[in-house]
Structure 1
C-alpha cells in the first residue's frame, strides 16, 4: 500500500514462519529515511498503533519519548555507559531496547516479547519488532502507547492460547462490538484522508453537424 501523496509505503509479505518479518512500513525512501518492521505474530493492535499515527496529522507539540511513555506505566528503565536503554514491562514479558554503539552510533529500537528473558536472551519468543533510529518521535510514542495500553483486546474464542500471562475476561457476544469498532476505525481513517485536488479543463463542444435532408413526417 502507498499513501495518496506517495510519502509512505506499507508492505505485507507473509512467509511460512510467522516469526519472520511480515510487516514493513517506511517513508518510501524520502528525506530522513526511516523504517519499522513487525513479525507475523505481532498483535494487530501494536502494528495499528503505528499505522493509525501515520494517518493522523503530525502533532504540533513535541511527542513524549519512549521511556516517558513506558516508565509512566510502571516499566523498569535502565541505561548503559554507551547510551543504550532497556525498558522491561512489569510482567517481564516485553523488553524494549535502544541499542547504541560507540562506533556505529544509535542503531534503533528492538522490541521482543517472550515467555522468559534470560541471561543469554529471550526464550520462547512470542513476537518481535524493530523501529529504525530515525523513526519520527510521535510514531515511536504511538507504538510505546500501544505496547503498554492496559485496555483489553477482542479475540475470538479459539484464538486465545493457554499462556499463564493472559487474563481472560467475561465472555460476551462480540460480533456487533467487533463490527462497530471496525467501522469506527474506518471512519476515523477516512476523516484524515487528504482530499484530492480537482482540476477541470474547459473543452470546446464538438460542432453540431449540419442536416440538409428534409424532415421526416411525424408518425
Structure 2
C-alpha cells in the first residue's frame, strides 16, 4: 500500500517462516527510514505504528522510548557507547538501542523471547526493527503499544501454546467486536486527505468547420 501523498509505503510479504520480516513500512522519498516486523509480531504492535502514521504529526515533542517504558516499570540499563536496553517487568521483551563507537546510532530492535518452563530452552516469540531515523512520535507509539497492559482479543482456539500467555474471561463478543472494528476504520477514514477542489470551468472543444470546394464548371 502507498499513502495518498506517496511519501510512505507498506509491504506485507508472508513467507513460509513467520520469523522473517513480513511487514515493512518505509518512506519513498527524502528523510528515509524504515520499520520491519516479523510474522509473529502481535498485530496491536504493528497497528501502534500504522495508526500513528496516518494521524497528523503532533506539534509537541514526543516522549522518548525510555521515558515511556521506565514509567511502566521496565528496567533500563545503558552502555558506555550510549547503547540502551530496556527489559519488561516479566523479562520477556527487550528493547535495545544500538550505538556503535565507530558508526554512531544504528537503530532500535525489539526482541520477545522466553523459556519453556523454569529451566527449558529459550523460545523466540517475535522481533521488530526500526531505523535510526524513525520519527520519535512513531517510536513512542510503538513503545506505548508494547507496554500496554490491556488484554488483547483473540479468537478461541487461535492462541499459540506458550507458558507466557494467560487466558482471561471473554470480555467482548459478537456485535461489540464488529462495532469496535467499525469505529477504528471510521477514525482512519477521518484522517484521509480530501481530494483537491477544481474551480476552473471546462468547455467542450469546438468542432471543426466543414468546408466545401466548388466543382469547376465546364
Same fold (TM over 0.5): yes
Asked if residue 127 in structure 1 is aligned to residue 122 in structure 2, the reply is no
- Which runs of 5 or more structure 2 residues have no equivalent in the other structure? 116-120, 208-218
Q: 1:195 to 1:80 in 2, by over 3 A?
A: same
Counterpart in the other structure of 1:190: 189
Per-residue CA deviation, residues 171-218 of structure 1 (Å, 9 max, x unaligned), is 35612222111101100101111111022542335789xxxxxxxxxx
- TM-score normalized by structure 1? 0.88
Once residues 35 and 91 of structure 1 are traced to their aligned partners in structure 2, the CA distance between those partners, rounded to angstroms, is 28
- Which runs of 5 or more structure 1 residues have no equivalent in the other structure? 117-121, 209-219
Counterpart in the other structure of 1:142: 141
Counterpart in the other structure of 1:169: 168
In 2, are the aligned partners of 1:154 and 1:178 still within 8 Å (CA)?
no
Once residues 68 and 172 of structure 2 are traced to their aligned partners in structure 1, the CA distance between those partners, rounded to angstroms, is 33
Once residues 172 and 77 of structure 1 are traced to their aligned partners in structure 2, the CA distance between those partners, rounded to angstroms, is 33
Counterpart in the other structure of 1:156: 155
Once residues 37 and 69 of structure 2 are traced to their aligned partners in structure 1, the CA distance between those partners, rounded to angstroms, is 19
Once residues 205 and 138 of structure 1 are traced to their aligned partners in structure 2, the CA distance between those partners, rounded to angstroms, is 49
Counterpart in the other structure of 1:17: 17
Per-residue CA deviation, residues 32-72 of structure 1 (Å, 9 max, x unaligned), is 21000000010000000000000100000000000000000
Q: 1:202 to 1:126 in 2, by over 3 A?
A: same
Once residues 66 and 194 of structure 2 are traced to their aligned partners in structure 1, the CA distance between those partners, rounded to angstroms, is 36
RMSD: 1.7
- TM-score normalized by structure 2? 0.88
The count of corresponding residues between Structure 1 and Structure 2 is 202
Per-residue CA deviation, residues 64-119 of structure 1 (Å, 9 max, x unaligned), is 00000000000000000000000000010000000001111111001000114xxx
